[in-house]
Amino acid sequence: MHVPDGFINAPVSAVAGVVAAGAVAVSLRGAGRELGEERAAPLAGLVAAFVFAVQMLNFPVAAGTSGHLLGGALAAILVGPYTGVLCIAVVLLMQGVLFADGGLTALGVNITVMGVVTTVVAYALFRGLTRVLPRTRRSTTIASFVAALVSVPAAAVAFTLIYAVGGTTDVPVGKVLTAMVGVHVLIGIGEAAITALTVGAVLAVRPDLVHGARGLAAPLKLRVDGELVDAPTAPAAPAATPVAARSTRKGSTRKVWFTGLAAALVLAGFVSFYASASPDGLEKVAADKGIDQKVREHGAAGSPLADYGVEDIGDARLSGGLAGVIGVGVTVVAGSGVFWAVRRRRTPEAPATRTAESV
């Protein structure tokens, strides 16, 4: 659903840019709380890279139409809604600047539609469902499926509203809305499946790394004389030294990080070659309804990585694979750098505690 330059007029694009900038500013403040743990910043960078990789995997949804992950629901559930908005913003920025995917003047529109709307709608619905469903991993996975499913047509509605205000072509809004929502409900099914599978996989291995599953493990209850009481807890293990605890935490997180990065590299560098070549939902609707009549050439069309291929490499498989690997690498570095900076700004180093000898 990457909106190109020329779909939306300059004034509305500018307003969308202001809205997107405001959302990013709010998210920078909120992400500081979500990134409180040392391991959170590299994991958030990994989520951004994973979303980038999976967005390269267009899947067929109807005759001549494909779809791809938007990622807002997945990012929000894994690392939190504020950090999720920043993840999608980083991905869209990398795609627009390096790969000529999504217009540069439409960057604000894309962040608003694909980042803010999907994240807010998905996480609000996810939290609502997890409050009424049993507190289990299965229920959390089901909630992530429903939230992701709804987030995609919600983004389609948001785009249509923006088009109604600032569209550059004279096409009845009702026709655009019907076509956009219809095809994006189908795309939402694919989004929901990818999101639920990913969240379920992380829950099965490390539920403590899923932001949306915090507090998932409810206290064990025992029935005594017909009443439910809290089960006695096991004696606490001897406290590890700060260095040992930090080393253990880093080690286990490092394994998850490298596994996730390897998966993203394989998806972007190899599996993406087999993605559907059909236009995605927005491109198909734009061509069918005529809202692409004033589309402009991308400002980064001359980029050596434009259209997800490496310039001067004739082999399509090698060119696309290298572009995907580069994209994952750049996104994980840029994302991790942003999240480290946010975390350090919000959680300054505590002053050293004076020892008894220094008193």
Architecture of the CATH domain 10-213+258-348:
Orthogonal Bundle (1.10)
Q: Which residues contact 197 (CB under 8 A, 6 or more apart)?
A: none
Q: Do you know the residue count of the chain?
A: 359
Please give the C-alpha separations between residue 167 and each of 176, 286, 287, in angstroms, as whole numbers: 11, 11, 14
More confident residue, 149 or 224: 149
pLDDT tens-digit profile of 318-331?
999 999 999 999 99
H/E element, 24: helix 10-34
pLDDT tens by residue, 197-226: 999 999 999 999 999 998 775 444 555 666
Average pLDDT, the chain: 88
Minimal CA–CA distance to 149: which of 200, 100, 94, 188?
Answer: 188
Check whether 101 has a pLDDT greater than 50: yes
CA–CA distance, 289 with 30 (Å, rounded to integer): 40
Q: Is 330 helix (H, G, I), strand (E, B) or coil?
A: helix
Q: What tens digit of pLDDT does each residue of 25-81 get?
A: 999 999 988 988 767 889 999 999 999 999 999 999 988 999 999 999 999 999 999
Neighbouring CB atoms inside 10 A of 256's CB total 17
Q: What is the pTM of this model?
A: 0.87
For residue 255, which amino acid is it?
K
Residues whose CB falls within 8 Å of the CB of residue 138, separated by 6 or more in sequence, listed in order: none
Dist. CA 154–CA 160, nearest whole Å = 10
Structure tokens given for 220: 């064990």
- Per the structure block, which two tokens stand in for 80? 């939190």
136 contact partners, CB below 8 Å, separation of at least 6: 216
The CA-atom distances, in angstroms, between 310 and each of 2, 4, 302, 315, 324 are: 21, 21, 11, 10, 9
Mean pLDDT on 259-278 = 96
